[in-house]
Amino acid sequence: MAIEHGLKPSPGFSWARRGGSIPFADSKPHTIGVEWEVALVDKTTRDLSNSAADVLTELDLPARDGIPQVTKEFLRNTVEIVSGVHNTVGEAVGDLSETLGKVRAATDRLGVDIMCAGTHPFAQWSQQLVTPDAHYQEMIERTQWWGRQMLIWGVHVHVGLSHSSKVFPILNSLLLQYPHLLALSASSPMWAGEDTHYASNRALMFQQLPTAGLPFQFDDWHQFESFVHDMMKTGVFDQLGGMHWDIRPAPKWGTIEVRICDGTSTKAELAALVALIQTLVVDLDRRLEAGEELPSMPPWHVQENKWRAARYGLDAIIIQDADANERLVTEDLDDLLDRLMPVAKSIGCADELAAVADIPRRGASYQRQRRVAEENNGDLKAVVDSLVDELKE
């Protein structure tokens, strides 16, 4: 679970206490950056290993352009692999893959494996250790039992935008594709040794935190500034990183950050999902530039779609539009990919976008995990083995 931590806002971001505006950093439009959380598991027991500090010490990788390649996370069983800023999906995933290789070499020396999914199949949350950090400790103090339950992993994709005025028209419209992204990435069917009968238990776990879940659909940037001012004035959070929405603005980077996806267990699926996200944002940005009013959906439809995708995954029947028309998510996905393909070709990710269609054919991660468990008489260690192997593909 990525919880942005560390320093208080820089002076440029202390506007809220003075009633000022939120600066939106200069960012080359449509560039991407990816954050990929991976779990550390013991090679023998297949349980989680609280060894992140040892892994980071073993790695000792320098930052690039002020961006760390691997960072600590909320729990000591997790490290986050961070790409640089790139123009194409191939470049970003290649960057992540190279760093992943370095992480694997370090973990091998420590007797640890790595895997990625939205949840671990059988690990117990009560046995996990929180990373020593004042911000993390403050979060635990506030959220207590629910905060300690956050034994989850995800993927976060940043896409650059040219101006803050574009953020909420694009964010609000992206919510129509929320169920597609969640159903495709769903990889958290099991929790503490039991099948939850959800495709993504992670999505519903994470929204229990007071600042997490679906974003508000603001009309413009000014409304967002007023919201953040109120949140900071009342102490809900003291930095923008404390706002953990499923899609959120990232003003200090000049990006929109999509945080919908469960942890992704293969590099091919990661590339496909990043391509879908980048292409969606570029398509909406171009339509906005052309003067089009972007489609949106009432919050009650968005909320229902999130639940349906979390519960039923690729079998979800989703609400398509504000008129409450419905369709099977995979059927809608086929038309969506056809519509987006010209955009993908123009930004160099046509192959990766085409690979999105492979996920339903192969089975999403939640389906594959259940299949492995069934084939091994319910042995969840075999599920961990399969996730470790998939990350090596």
Q: Which helix (H) or strand (E) holds 36?
A: strand 32-42
What is the residue type of 203?
A
67 confidence band (pLDDT: 50, 70, 90): confident
- What tens digit of pLDDT does each residue of 142-179 get? 888 888 888 999 999 999 999 999 999 999 999 999 99
62 or 367: which carries more pLDDT confidence?
A: 367
Q: How far apart are CA 159 and CA 33, in angstroms?
A: 7
Q: How far apart are CA 363 and CA 314, in angstroms?
A: 9
Bridge partners (DSSP) of residue 258 are 157, 247
Residue 121 confidence (pLDDT): 98
What is the residue type of 153?
W
15 confidence band (pLDDT: 50, 70, 90): very low
Highest mean pLDDT among 68-82, 138-152, 194-208, 239-253: 194-208
Q: Given a cut of 50, is residue 5 above it in pLDDT?
A: no
User: Going from the N-terminus, what domains does the chain have, and what CATH number goes with each?
Assistant: 11-392 (3.30.590.20)
Q: How far apart are CA 2 and CA 244, in angstroms?
A: 9
Burial class (CB in 10 A: 0-12, 13-18, 19+), 181: buried
- What tens digit of pLDDT does each residue of 226-272 get? 999 999 999 888 888 889 999 999 999 999 999 999 999 999 999 99
Average pLDDT value for the chain = 92
Residues 34, 258 contacting (CB under 8 angstroms) = no
213 or 75: which carries more pLDDT confidence?
A: 213
- Global pTM reads 0.93
Q: How far apart are CA 47 and CA 331, in angstroms?
A: 38
Residues 310, 333 contacting (CB under 8 angstroms) = no
Average pLDDT over residues 350-377: 98
DSSP string, 110-157: TTEEEE--SS-SS--GGG--B-S-HHHHHHHHHHHHHHHT----BEEE
Burial class (CB in 10 A: 0-12, 13-18, 19+), 102: middle
* Token digits of residue 344: 């993908």
Q: Given a cut of 70, is residue 6 above it in pLDDT?
A: no
Residue 66: DSSP 8-state: T
Residues 366, 380 contacting (CB under 8 angstroms) = no
